[in-house]
Every structure is written in structure tokens, then in C-alpha cells.
Amino acid sequence: MNNIRTLWEHCRNDFKGLAAVRWLEKKDVKEISYTGLDEAVTAVRKGLAEAGLSGKHIALIGTSSVFWIESYLAITTGDNVAVPLDANLPAEDLVDLLNRSDSEALFLSPKLKALTETVKAECPKIKNIWFLSEEDDQPCLTQLRASGEGVDDVEGNGEDELATIIFTSGTTGKSKGVMLTQNNLASNVASVQYIVEPGCVLMSVLPIHHAFCLCMDWLKGFSLGAVICINDSFLHMVRNMSIFKPEVMLMVPLMIESIYKRLATADPSVPAQVLAQNVFGGNLRIIFTGGAHLDPFYIGKFREYGVDVLEGYGMSECSPVITSNTPDDHKDGSIGKPLPNVEIRFENDEILVRGSSVMKGYYMMPEETAKTLEDGWLHTGDKGYIDEDGFLFINGRVKNLIILSNGENISPEEIENKISLSPLVAEVIVTGEDNGLTARIYPEKELAEARGMDAAEIRSSIQSFIDEYNVSQPTYRRITALVVRDNPFIRNATSKIIRAKALEDIPA
């Protein structure tokens, strides 16, 4: 059966004595084997059955941890559906997503304990909350594992049943729950053409609730018998590389750009090999990257330090990989060749994808689903072409989404809705510029006049509103620049602001 249960049982049987996960506790390196992780996963799975959770949606809120992945596997190797959420979102957004995903139980990071009361009060469907820890005064994994003792194990979900719902930015200003089946995930893991020896060390630095990290660091890594090391903080990424000494890493372009700054400003008398040892830990051979455009310049530069950067392309809706360069077959500047389980065609230059990794649809959003999926073909919103050697290239977008180089997809409408809550904002357009978000605002002139405000006061008042918004948001959704316009935005015949002309003024 092509499901996560079968995938995981193969890992458990083939890589028994090997280490599965390593992580840091204070400064000590901890480790769990495939066997140890399987025992924990099985115990939690039975505990969920004992709690009456079968065919239910179960959310996870927390950053990467061995407890997070244990719980995720317990949900998806059984008969429930996992809903991973971004732990950095404001409480109101998390409540909204918990409710919209119909989640009935929650695994919560102990760092977010303050959220418990809000969830209890505002998410009536949530019946159980377990903390992602082994010691707590509230229910946590220890009790859940123990509660499953002596309980019959459950079968894994069938391949066409849902495995996970992953939220992604929507162009309508509301994030959408991508429904991925057991087969979607298992076939994506199997189709990425990459093999390492069991015991190969990977270091996971991306957010675990993202499809790229979840499927390619974790599920793919496990399927190869890799040791997956958890980077506990971006603050310590370089330090952690020297501790874990990874051979392979997944990164978004922003990380590659940032590491390059370190390489470029190093003392030129230091030999490349020594510098690579200091910055990459000494064993790094391959970086897989995706999620945003990477300037091929960096690929050449990293090669000088003995590191191959292999770019791929994907989206949550495709579980997520669609194309990838591989160690044996790659071309700089391209995003690789389509996976064997994927077909690609073009419609007005837009890339359309069909295959066993393509999602079932958006959860409870039939209209959005119909717009994106037509006869099994998924509209990616990206424009591109395939060259004579079969490599895919991207050269534009048809949707409004802003893609930052950290791979985060930002829906400008979602942020505009929040900024327009300021009474001084008449019109606002958020644009992605210089790898940050710029708010372009036409102020409410009449109100400003009534309050006797001059241009400087208007700007400062709007800036204060934005500062307040920024504090409540994860860094990638913060506004980094403000432009106050003298004139309204240019509108089309139906009075809609023409987004593509947001940087222009109405001609005199």
C-alpha cells in the first residue's frame, strides 16, 4: 500500500539500530534510533485510538522537535489527519485555522502554553490538548503514550484517504488548507530521485509545518535511513552545522544568500577548504533549495567551497516537489526535470501539473479548488518553459502572491486587509521589493485635514500603526518600508486598483 504507514514500517524494519533523529538539549546532543522512535510513534498512535480519535483532524503547533515528528507520524501512520500550523502566527490566526480545519485535538508546544485558554474558549471542537513534551503538569506525550498500553493498534489510512492538511497563502486574502492524501505524500517521497547511504547526516533548518521541510527533510530523509539533526534556532545555524556536521541540507535561497555574506567577507588569506570547514561544518556536500528564485551566481560560488547547490521547484499543492535537479542530472539556473510521477504542460505560458502528488483540493473551498484544479491539472500560477534538454525554467507569475527569498508566500491582500484597518489609510497596496514588504498607502485626506495633520504627522501616525502591526506578526509578514502617496492608485474600468501599476502615479 502506498501510504505513510508502509513507508514508516520499511524505515523501522530496514534501519533498526541506526539513529533517526539528533537534537540539542542545552549543549548536549541527544539521539533516538529508528526503533526507539517507532516505539514512541506506536504508543502515541494507540493513545489517540484510546482517546476515541479515529478519522479526525488533529493539529500540531510547534517548531521542529522529536516530539513534533513523533506526534505527526502517530497521526498519519494511523487513521487520523494531521494539520500542521505555523507556531509563529498570532493567536487569532491560529484560532481561525484550528476552527476552519475542523481540528478536534491539538499537540501544542509547551512554549505556547499561554494559548491553551484561548483555544479552550474559542475552539469548541478541540476536545484534547497534549503538550509536545515528556514532563508537564498538563497532559503531555507521557500520559498519551501510557494511555495506549494494551490497546489494539489501528490500521493505516488507505492511499486515497487524507493524510494532512497544510495551510498556504491564498490570493483572496484567506489562507487555504491544501488536502494531501496518503498517496500524494508517499509518491512524492518515492519519486524524488535521490539516494544516500543509510546513516547519512541531514540537518533540518526549515520550518517543519512547511511541505518542503516535512516531506523532503523528514519523510524523504527517514525513507533513506538518514539521521535528521534539528537546528534549534536560526541564531545558531552555523554553530549547529559544526556540531552535527551535516552532509546534506535543504535550504531556501535566503539562507544561501546569508551564508554567502559570511563567506564573502571572510579574510581572503583563509583557504577555501578551511573556510568551508568553519562555515559548513566540514562534511556538507549538497544543498537542495527551492521555494523561491535563486540567482545562479550562488551555485557557482558555493561550488568553489565543495558544495553543490541543487535547485528544485514545488508547492504545497504538489506534496510539494514538482521538478528537481539531482546530483547526476542538473543545469544551473533551471529548476530541474519533472519527477517521474509528474506530467507538465503549459497554458498561456502558465505551468500546469498533473500526477500522483497533486492535491485532492482545498479544504472546504470548492470554488478555489475548481479554479486551481481542472480535469486533474493543477494551475501553478507560475510561468515557464522546458528547454531542449528537458529542464524547466520559471520566468514569471500569473498570481498576486509575493514570493520572498525565504520561500514564504505572502498574500498581499491578507496584509492589506490588516493595514487598511487604520482610519488614516484610504488605499493600500503591499508589494514585494528588495526582498521585503513595502506598504504603499494613499492616506484618508479628509480625516487628516479634519485633524489638522500635516504630511509628516500623517506619515508618522501611519508608521506607528504599522509598527504595532509588525510586532504582532512573524518576521516574514512584517512591513519593512512605507511609501505615502500623494495621489490615489490607478484604477481600471471596474474601479479596481491595478496592482501592476502600484508604483506609478496617475498621469497629469
Partner 1 sequence: MNREEEFKKIVAQYCKVSPEDMTGEMKFREDLGFSSLDFMSFLGEIEDTFDVELEEESVLKIFTVGEALELLNGMEAA
Interaction site with partner 1 (CB under 8 A): 233-239, 254-255, 257-259, 261-262, 265, 405-406, 434-436, 471, 475-476, 480-481
Smallest gap from Cβ 111 to partner 1, in A, equals 9
Task: CB nearer to partner 1: give 335 or 479.
Answer: 479
| Gap between the Cα atoms of 149 and 33, Å rounded | 21
CB of 254 to partner 1, least distance (A): 5
Smallest separation (angstroms) from partner 1 to the CB of 90: 13
Whole-angstrom distance, CA of residue 58 vs CA of residue 107 = 8
In the bound state with partner 1, the residue whose beta carbon lies nearer, of 37 and 115, is: 115
Q: Which is nearer to partner 1, 1 or 237 (CB)?
A: 237
| Burial bucket for residue 120 (CB in 10 Å: 0-12, 13-18, 19+) | exposed
Which is nearer to partner 1, 471 or 508 (by Cβ)? 471
Which string of DSSP letters, residue by residue, matches 160-229?
A: TSEEEEEEE--TTSS-EEEEEEHHHHHHHHHHS-----TT-EEEE-S-TTSHIIIIIIIIHHHHTTPEEE
- Residue 172 CB, shortest distance to partner 1, in Å, is 26
Minimum CB separation of residue 60 from partner 1 in Å reads 20
Q: Which is nearer to partner 1, 324 or 406 (CB)?
A: 406
CB of 264 to partner 1, least distance (A): 9
CB of 467 to partner 1, least distance (A): 9
SS3 content of the chain, % helix, strand, coil (to 5): 35, 25, 40
Strands 19-25 and 28-33: antiparallel
Compute the least distance from the CB of residue 206 to partner 1, in Å. 11
- The residue type at 104: E
| Torsion sign (Cα): 111, 115, 120, 125 | negative
What letter does residue 265 receive in the DSSP assignment? T
Query: Residue 121 or residue 235: which is nearer to partner 1 going by CB?
Result: 235
**Closer by beta carbon to partner 1, 417 or else 470:** 470
Instruction: Choose between 35 and 258: whose C-beta lies nearer to partner 1.
Output: 258
Rank residues 30 and 262 by Cβ distance to partner 1 and give the closer one: 262
The number of beta carbons lying within 10 Å of the beta carbon of residue 346 is 12
Beta strand 392-397 with 402-403 is unpaired
The nearest distance, CB 292 to partner 1, in angstroms, is 12
Q: Is the dihedral of CA 141, 227, 32, 16 positive or negative?
A: positive
Compute CA distances 291 → 163, 184, 188, whole Å. Answer: 22, 19, 16
Between residues 106 and 259, which has the closer beta carbon with respect to partner 1? 259
Query: Of 239 and 371, which has the nearer Cβ to partner 1?
Result: 239
Q: How far is the CB of 171 from partner 1 (least distance, A)?
A: 23
DSSP assignment, residue 48?
H
Other beta carbons less than 10 A from residue 226's beta carbon: 27
Residue 435 beta carbon to partner 1: minimum distance, rounded to whole angstroms: 6
Q: What is the DSSP letter of 151?
A: P
Q: For residue 449, give the C-alpha cell.
A: 485635514
Output the smallest distance, CB 294 to partner 1, in A.
Answer: 14
Query: Cα dist. 383→392, 396, 397, 402 in Å?
Result: 10, 5, 5, 14
Give the contacts of 178 (CB within 8 A, at least 6 positions apart). 165, 166, 167, 168, 211, 316, 317, 359, 362, 363
Q: Rounded to the nearest 10 degrees, how much is the dihedral formed by the CA atoms of 455, 456, 462, 467?
A: 160
C-alpha grid cell, residue 295: 540567482
CB of 22 to partner 1, least distance (A): 19
Nearer to partner 1, 265 or 348 (CB): 265
Tell how far CA 218 is from the center of its chain: 13
Quote the CA–CA distance of 430 and 404 in Å, as a whole number: 13
Nearer to partner 1 among residue 50 and residue 257 (C-beta): 257
Q: What is the DSSP string of 75-87?
A: HHTTTSEEEEE-T
